[in-house]
Every structure is written in structure tokens, then in C-alpha cells.
């Protein structure tokens, strides 16, 4: 096999005979020299994943960058998985991995949970799309209302991106105002409005971006000043534990301050609970912090591992979808909402069972306990290895932050922009993810813990992290 430099610093793949040269080219940071040889970590990865390399060579001719999700890009190539069971998944080369990507956060119950499999299989035989209302959507909606504190009414979509887009439209229609405040690096899907403040803005009109106000997080005085100077703000939205699943944390005090200041200035507060919903606690971050938003968006765990999204909140806002019989209102203010797969029977069946298990079994407590064990183990490992950094995070989402000595409470870790840039070093993160897979763990620097991870899984993960950190040290990356 030979892995050759591709345009733009990527890697192309062609399959040749054994013993052929393997080469990759990266530019990991602006101003950094091009590296034109594989590292020891990469070589081990290449040697143990020939099937994934071959498939990626084919995929590059089909998909941009050879992947179907931006975060699945990986140099020199991503893994190709075949199946998962419980806390583990297997790739095409037969490697078993302890999984912490966990369906991008949707699988708190683990891969192929038998109750989910049974629910979906049973419904598959009854019909996948009935083009009609069903008992399933009522049961799914009731489960959301029962668990989520702010949920007076619900509307289903098929993804988190659709949910935040619908929330924006609803709150703009309800308030008659135009602008939405969001925070730097907080992710609310890939629609045009949500991408405001992102470093990649191709195809998004400036007119759209002008309706969004992007502020740095954890500065409540700036939010208040903005609201006091602009009376056209419909809502404030945030990831309530911080951007990218809590990687860049926000303080609980800041979230509480947002509740107070938005109420005072008449703006709605939207919690994006696509990640935190049913994970941070049974009722999400709003229950965990005891802070009631006006609206929240959900996906991931909501659908039990199948596509599903929802907006929930105050009835008068969600009811902006309702027909009133007033022609002026129904044509000018009412929010129209279609969607072929809204509350489709398969997703509803999986979602009902998932939320039933969240409600009635210790799913969250178990995941949180395993995450605490992982956090403690990783911090002990860093201390033992004399590597600067920490493992921190809220509930069952843990982040390994390498490269900077700092103090934090191991829960909410607030760092300066300079320290954040060091911790987010692109080459270190890439090499760490490869090294962890070399040692049997799919995680990178983020660990989304499931209720099915065992103490043995956690301890093996800490061992893998220690070996990976040692591999990074040999390459001068820690």
C-alpha cells in the first residue's frame, strides 16, 4: 500500500503490494512546515487498518474528503466499522474498539440494545411510514413532556439541525423580532443561521448572518449590554454545558445569569439540549442546573439511535404552528412545518423505548458513575506520567485536555484563549486519536460515556490513554 500526498494537505490512498512505501503529508497549523513522512503512531495505524485504507480510497471518488460527516475526517484515513454491541464496535479489519464516539452522543444505552432492537424490528413489520398520525407519536411526545421540565408542547423533526432551525423560526414569529444571540463556537447544527461566527461560511448570505449576534461566552454583562442596546433580539441560544458538548465550558452562574437577563429584557432563552438532553440528567441540563428555559431543542438520545429531533417549550411559542382561522395571522405569522419523516414510526418506536429506559432505570446514574471513574483514572494517569493537563467534564461527557498546567475543579474547566489554543493543537489531537485506536479505544480527546461501559472498559481505557500519551511524548507532542 502507498499513501500519497493529495491536494490541500490530505492523503490519497492506492493499494499496492506489501512492503511498498507509505507516505503522508500534513499541514497542521498555519506557518508550520509540511511534514512528509509518517510518524510511528501513523505507521502502526496504517499497518493494522488496511481494509479501512482501501475503502477510503474508493470513498474519495464518491464523497468530498471521502466521508459523509465532517468530523469523521481523519488523517491518513478514517476507520470503517461493521457492527457494534454494548460498549464495543468492530472495524472492517476485525479490530475491536471500546467506543466513546457512541453514535455522536446518541447511544447512552449502548450499541444494539436488545430492547431497542426488538422495538424497531416489531415496528418494521408493521410499517415504516404510514402517512398518518399514530399512537406512537403520542407516546413519544408524552415521554418528552414527562421528562423535560420546560416541555409543555412538542414538535418532532428528524435532526438537531432541523430542531434549532424550527426553534429560531418559532421564536421569531412569536416575538415579532429578528435577531438571535448565540455564543462563540457553540454548535447548533449546520443551517445558515446556526453557522454564524463559524470560521467556515461558504454559501451563506451576509444578509442571513446579519440577523445573528455572536458573543463570547461567560460574560453576562456583555449579554445584558447587548440586550439593552438592541430591542430586536428574539432569543438567546446556547449549549448549556458549553460548546462542542462541553469541551469549552460555560459556568452554571453564566447560565443562571442568562435566565435572569433574558426575562428582564423580554428575550426567550433556548437551551440546545441535542447533546445534554436525557444525558446530563433524565431531564437534561435544565433539570441538572435547575434552570428553566423557554424552549429547548433535542435529538440524539431522543431517537434511541435512529434519526429524530424535537423542539419543546412554552405552549404559546410552540403553538405558532397552529392554524387560528385568522387569515392575516395564518399567512403572515404562523409557522408552517412539514417533514416527510417527522415522528416516523421507526424513530418513534426506538425513541419511546429509549426514553422509557431513561425514565425507569438508572441509565444516567450508571453512565455518570463510569464517567467519574474514567475522569479520576485519567487525572491519576496524567499526574503519574507528569504530563500537563486534566480530564474534566459534566456528567457523562469527559474531555482530556493536554499541554497546559492549570487549575480547575475537574468539572467546569475554563481556560484562557491562549491555553485553549494549546490544548486544541490539531496535530496532537489527530495523533492522539490514532494512538488511542492503536490501543483499542475510539475516542480522541472526548469520551462520551454510555451506561453499558463497565469498570473493565474504563480501566482498559485509562491504560490505553497512558500508552497513547507515552506515544505522543516520543513524538514531542506532550
pLDDT at 20 over 60: no
- Residue 193 shares a structural domain with residue 216: yes
401-414 core/surface letters (b: 16 or more CB in 10 A; e: else): bbbbebeeeeebbb
Domain presence at residue 241: yes
Query: pTM, whole model, 2 decimals?
Result: 0.91
pLDDT digits 0-9 by tens, 179-208:
999 999 999 999 999 999 998 999 999 999
| Residues near 295 by beta carbon (within 8 Å), at least 6 away in sequence | 150, 167, 170, 171, 235, 268, 269, 270, 271, 311, 312, 313, 314, 317, 318
Domain endpoint, select from 336, 360, 384: 360
Q: Are 28 and 155 in the same domain? A: no
In a domain, 158, yes or no: yes
Which CATH number does the domain housing residue 224 bear?
3.40.640.10
Rounded CA-CA distance 423/235 in Å is: 32
The pLDDT, as a whole number, for residue 10 is 38
Out of 15-24, 150-159, 375-384, 422-431, least confident range: 15-24
The three grid cell numbers given for residue 374, joined into one nine-digit string: 474514567
Check whether residue 237 and residue 321 sit in a common domain: yes
Looking at the domain assignment, is residue 29 inside a domain? yes
Has residue 99 got a pLDDT over 80?
Answer: yes
**Domain housing 103:** 79-112+362-478
Residues 292 and 348 in one domain: yes
Last residue of one domain, picked from the residues 325, 360, 395: 360
Task: Give how far Cα 215 sits from Cα of 58, 167, 222, 387, Å.
Answer: 42, 19, 8, 33
Q: Is residue 262 part of a domain?
A: yes
Residues 122 and 215 in one domain: yes
Is there a contact between 208 and 172 (Cβ–Cβ < 8 Å)? no
pLDDT above 60 (res 31): no
Specify whether 128 is located in the same domain as 257.
Answer: yes
Cell of 177: 423580532
* Residue 429, domain CATH: 3.90.1150.10
Overall number of domains in the chain: 3
Which of 360, 377, 407 delimits the end of a domain? 360
Angle at 474 between CA 472 and CA 476, to 5 degrees: 70
At 7, the pLDDT band (50, 70, 90 cuts) reads very low
pLDDT tens digit string along 247-292?
999 999 999 999 999 999 999 999 999 999 999 999 999 999 999 9
Q: Are residues 119 and 98 part of one domain?
A: no
- What is the predicted pLDDT for the residue at 36? 61
Q: Is residue 469 situated within a structural domain?
A: yes
- ω into 265 cis (within 30 of 0): no
Contacts of 362 (CB under 8 A, 6+ apart): 451
- CA of residue 223 relative to chain centroid, distance: 25
Pair 380, 341 in one domain: no
Q: Do 260 and 176 belong to one domain?
A: yes
| Average pLDDT for the chain | 92
74 within domain boundaries: no
Please check whether residues 149 and 213 belong to one and the same domain.
yes
How many whole angstroms from its chain centre is CA 29? 24
Look at residues 218, 302, 309, 318 and name the one whose alpha carbon lies nearest to residue 268. Answer: 318
In a domain, 153, yes or no: yes
Q: What is the mean pLDDT of residues 324-347?
A: 94
> Considering the domain boundaries, does residue 73 fall inside one?
no
Q: Which of 112, 91, 111 is nearest to 100 (CA)?
A: 111
Name the residue among 460, 467, 475 with its Cα closest to residue 438: 467
Angle at 328 (CA atoms; ends 325, 329), nearest 5 degrees: 65
Q: Tell me the pLDDT band of 8, cut-offs 50, 70 and 90.
A: very low
Let me know whether 178 and 196 are in one domain: yes
CB contact at 8 A, 148 and 140: no
d(CA 224, CA 264): 9
Report the pLDDT value the prediction gives residue 199, as an integer from 0 to 100.
87
- Poorest-pLDDT segment among 296-305, 313-322, 407-416: 407-416
Same domain? 338 vs 386: no
Weakest mean pLDDT among 35-39, 75-79, 96-100, 291-295 = 35-39
Amino acid at each position: 500500500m502507498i499513501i500519497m500526498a493529495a491536494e490541500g494537505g490530505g492523503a490519497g490512498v492506492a493499494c499496492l503490494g506489501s512492503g511498498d512505501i507509505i507516505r503522508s503529508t500534513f499541514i497542521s497549523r498555519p506557518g508550520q512546515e509540511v511534514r512528509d513522512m509518517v510518524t510511528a503512531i501513523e505507521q502502526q495505524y496504517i499497518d493494522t487498518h488496511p481494509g479501512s485504507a482501501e475503502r477510503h480510497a474508493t470513498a474519495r471518488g464518491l464523497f468530498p474528503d471521502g466521508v459523509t460527516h465532517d468530523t469523521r475526517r481523519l488523517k491518513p484515513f478514517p476507520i470503517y466499522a461493521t457492527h457494534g454491541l454494548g460498549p464495543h464496535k468492530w472495524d472492517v479489519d476485525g479490530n475491536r474498539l471500546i467506543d466513546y464516539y457512541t453514535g455522536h452522543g446518541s447511544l447512552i444505552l449502548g450499541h444494539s440494545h436488545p430492547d431497542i432492537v426488538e422495538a424497531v424490528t416489531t415496528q418494521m413489520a408493521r410499517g415504516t411510514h404510514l402517512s398518518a398520525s399514530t399512537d406512537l407519536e403520542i407516546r413519544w411526545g408524552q415521554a418528552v413532556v414527562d421528562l423535560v421540565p420546560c416541555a409543555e408542547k412538542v414538535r418532532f423533526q428528524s435532526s438537531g439541525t432541523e430542531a434549532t432551525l424550527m426553534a429560531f423560526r418559532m421564536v421569531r414569529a412569536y416575538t415579532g423580532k429578528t435577531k438571535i444571540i448565540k455564543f462563540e463556537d457553540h454548535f447548533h447544527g449546520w443551517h445558515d443561521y446556526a453557522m454564524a461566527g463559524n470560521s467556515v461560511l461558504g454559501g451563506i448570505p451576509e444578509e442571513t448572518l446579519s440577523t445573528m449576534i455572536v458573543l463570547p461566552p461567560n460574560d453576562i454583562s456583555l449579554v445584558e449590554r447587548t440586550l439593552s442596546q438592541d430591542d430586536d433580539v428574539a432569543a438567546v441560544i446556547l449549549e448549556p454545558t458549553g460548546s462542542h458538548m462541553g469541551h469549552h465550558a460555560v459556568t452554571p452562574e453564566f447560565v443562571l445569569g442568562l435566565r435572569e437577563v433574558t426575562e428582564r429584557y423580554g428575550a426567550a432563552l433556548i437551551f440546545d439540549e441535542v447533546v445534554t438532553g436525557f444525558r446530563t440528567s433524565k431531564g437534561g441540563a435544565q433539570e441538572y442546573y435547575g434552570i428553566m428555559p423557554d424552549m429547548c431543542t433535542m435529538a440524539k438520545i431522543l431517537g434511541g439511535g435512529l434519526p429524530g429531533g424535537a423542539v419543546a417549550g412554552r405552549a404559546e411559542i410552540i403553538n405558532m404552528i397552529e392554524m387560528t382561522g385568522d387569515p392575516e395571522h395564518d399567512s403572515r405569522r404562523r409557522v408552517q412545518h412539514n417533514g416527510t419523516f417527522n415522528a416516523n414510526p421507526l424513530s418513534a418506536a426506538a425513541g419511546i423505548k429509549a426514553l422509557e429506559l431513561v425514565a425507569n432505570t438508572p441509565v444516567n446514574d450508571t453512565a455518570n458513575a463510569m464517567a467519574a471513574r474514567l475522569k479520576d483514572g485519567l487525572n491519576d494517569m496524567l499526574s503519574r506520567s507528569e504530563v500537563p493537563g486534566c480530564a474534566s467534564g459534566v456528567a457523562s461527557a469527559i474531555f482530556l485536555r493536554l499541554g497546559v498546567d492549570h487549575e480547575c475543579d475537574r468539572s467546569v474547566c475554563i481556560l484562557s484563549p491562549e491555553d485553549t489554543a494549546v490544548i486544541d493543537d490539531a496535530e496532537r489531537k489527530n495523533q492522539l486519536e490514532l494512538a488511542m485506536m492503536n490501543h483499542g479505544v475510539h475516542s480522541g480527546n472526548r469520551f462520551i460515556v454510555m451506561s453499558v461501559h463497565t469498570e473493565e472498559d474504563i480501566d482498559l481505557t485509562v491504560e490505553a490513554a497512558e500508552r497513547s500519551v507515552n506515544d505522543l511524548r516520543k513524538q514531542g507532542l506532550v
